[in-house]
Amino acid sequence: MKTQQLIGYGAMIRNLAVITFSLLAAIATQPTFASAQSVRVGNAAYGDWRTDAPGVMRKITPADMPAPLATPTTASRSKVIPRPAGAKLKTMPGFTVTAFVTGMTGARVLRTAPNGDIFLALSRPEGKIMTIRAGADMSSPKVETFATGLRDAYGIAFYPPGPDPKWVYVGEFGKVVRFPYRNGDLTASGAPQTVVSDLATGGNHWTRDVAFSPDGKTMYVAVGSASNVAADMGPRPANFAAFEKSHSPGSAWDREEWRANVLTYTPEGKNKRVFASGVRNCSGLAVQPGTGTVYCATNERDLLGDNLPPDYVTDVKQGAFYGWPWYYIGDHVDARPGGGPRPDLADKVTVPDVLLQPHSAPLGMAFNPGGQFLPDWKGDAFVALHGSWNRALRTGYKIIRVPFKDGKPTGEYQDFVIGFVANSQDVWGRPVDVTFAKDGSLLFSDDGNGVVYRVAYKLE
């Protein structure tokens, strides 16, 4: 698990060509890279925090899934402790991780404004939006308060898309609000307007992420389920055909109505529609640059055993059904939901693109616009895994890279930043969201100890 440093190689290769550059990575990283070259598959892909290592690649497929309760279900709540003396995060050779901003209790969603300012949602106890401005080299970050008095402040999106937004949208408890904004504003210049006021509240899954299509016509809002698997859901609504038509096939009802969905509205909050259903908890939305395809980082269900079911990252297709609560990862039946079985949906479940170690809890994701990390990594997604509770030995608590090829995920992913797990009980950080700063470095938030970290690539 030892991480190699590039120190010492930097001067040697400073003037070498790009070709040599990637060769250098191979030289400098040899032990880690050896494991990276072989992708962990099958049972080996599951693993736990003890076998995480920067550079490790994994690929989990539906065929690798065990039967429900092949292992007993376990509760292993992590206790967040301050960073132990000497504890360090580990990343891949050539990269450095440093604490960028501290003291950000409740740090959740991170977004980069078009002018390079960083927006950060502090969700709880009081919902706030903070702004962070740093130098061109990301030095000397200064934090300002953009807005306070929010409740469960989470998703942040700039509108209209492009270089000159006029509004900052924020998803919070029961609603989406927007603040007037001009490039460079570090504090809100006016009171928020409520754009959407009918988002579901209560129960589990309070995060509400917000994103816009590149043409600015569609606002996506992700609303997670109220429950684990809708065990208390009652009989189907009367006139079920009409319900399915108005909510999209595969949507659940009762207190799950308009939940486990990705919803769409106009930017003015009109024309509410279900864009996709059966997405248990899409905690992080990201729109792929170039294609405008919407992706979700999704938390799957609990209490089926250590290695079931995988969480996932997927492109979200309009009208698609991703299984919850009746099915998981394709047509695998879950018998726990109330309201009766749904054989009619068995052949309508879309299998997600990238399956993650079960219970990892992917929360936020961002696409790498390029500019600093390895050239091959441009267009790859990076995802923050908040970490498991429903597993004997922890998974998650790390940042992963999800490689894309020709605009599509390959299905593999790579451990990129690890090291928050101190022992079988304690952790000293819980990653929530990622964003790429203007200089191409990666920032990620930790709501365990209220820190924003920066991962930079440097040759020396």
Task: State which of positions 67-96 bind another protein (CB under 8 A).
Answer: 72-77, 79
CB 441 within 8 A of CB 93: no
Locate 394 and state its tokens.
Answer: 């922890």
Q: Choose, by CB under 8 A, the member of 228, 261, 307, 435 that binds another protein.
A: 228
Indicate whether 202 belongs to the interface with another protein (CB under 8 A). yes
Question: C-beta of 251: minimal distance to another protein in Å?
Answer: 18
To which residue do tokens 């099915």 refer? 327
Question: C-beta of 352: minimal distance to another protein in Å?
Answer: 21
Locate 136 and state its tokens.
Answer: 């061109």
Question: C-beta of 228: minimal distance to another protein in Å?
Answer: 4
Enumerate the β-bridge partners of residue 178.
169, 193
Locate 308 and state its tokens.
Answer: 């079931």
CB 91 within 8 A of CB 373: no
Dist CA 262 CA 284 (whole Å): 11
List C-alpha distances in Å: 206 to 111, 199, 357.
19, 10, 23
Nearer to another protein, 336 or 348 (CB): 336
Q: Choose, by CB under 8 A, the member of 116, 389, 403, 450 that binds another protein.
A: 389
Nearer to another protein, 78 or 112 (CB): 78
Nearer to another protein, 241 or 335 (CB): 335
Nearer to another protein, 126 or 331 (CB): 126
Dihedral of CA atoms 275, 215, 407, 438 in degrees, nearest 10, equals: -120
Of the CA atoms within 13 Å of residue 59, those in its CB half-sphere come to 12
Dist CA 321 CA 274 (whole Å): 10
Dist CA 369 CA 224 (whole Å): 28
Cα dihedral sign, 333-293-455-459: positive
Nearer to another protein, 271 or 425 (CB): 425
CB 428 within 8 A of CB 112: no
Site string for another protein, 329-368 (x = CB under 8 A): -------x--------------------------------
Q: Choose, by CB under 8 A, the member of 131, 288, 350, 390 that binds another protein.
A: 390
Enumerate the β-bridge partners of residue 220.
211, 264
Q: Choose, by CB under 8 A, the member of 175, 255, 359, 398 that binds another protein.
A: 255
The 10 Å Cβ neighbour count of residue 23 is 13
Nearer to another protein, 280 or 342 (CB): 280
Instruction: State whether residue 193 is helix, strand or coil.
Output: strand
Q: Choose, by CB under 8 A, the member of 65, 132, 147, 229 that binds another protein.
A: 229
Q: Choose, by CB under 8 A, the member of 13, 303, 351, 459 that binds another protein.
A: 303
Nearest to 82 by CA among 360, 415, 451, 395: 451
Locate 209 and state its tokens.
Answer: 């992420």
Q: Choose, by CB under 8 A, the member of 27, 333, 392, 459 that binds another protein.
A: 392
Question: C-beta of 275: minimal distance to another protein in Å?
Answer: 24
Nearer to another protein, 118 or 200 (CB): 200
Locate 23 and state its tokens.
Answer: 């060769």
Question: C-beta of 449: minimal distance to another protein in Å?
Answer: 15
Question: C-beta of 152: minimal distance to another protein in Å?
Answer: 9
Nearer to another protein, 12 or 80 (CB): 80
Site string for another protein, 113-152 (x = CB under 8 A): -----------xxx------------------------x-
Locate 57 and state its tokens.
Answer: 């690649």
Indicate whether 393 belongs to the interface with another protein (CB under 8 A). yes
Nearer to another protein, 277 or 390 (CB): 390
Of the CA atoms within 13 Å of residue 185, those in its CB half-sphere come to 18
Question: C-beta of 208: minimal distance to another protein in Å?
Answer: 14
Question: C-beta of 90: minimal distance to another protein in Å?
Answer: 17
CB 227 within 8 A of CB 252: no
Nearer to another protein, 51 or 102 (CB): 51
Dist CA 240 CA 244 (whole Å): 6
Site string for another protein, 152-191 (x = CB under 8 A): ----------------------------------------
Residues touching another protein: how many (CB under 8 A)?
33
Question: C-beta of 348: minimal distance to another protein in Å?
Answer: 25
DSSP-derived pairing of the beta strands 90-91 and 95-101? unpaired
What's the angle, vertex CA 168, arms to CA 163 and CA 171, rounded to 5?
Answer: 135
Indicate whether 203 belongs to the interface with another protein (CB under 8 A). yes
Q: Choose, by CB under 8 A, the member of 187, 189, 291, 423 that binds another protein.
A: 423
Which residues form the interface with another protein (CB under 8 A)?
50, 72-77, 79, 124-126, 151, 202-204, 206, 226-229, 231-232, 255, 302-303, 336, 389-390, 392-393, 423-425
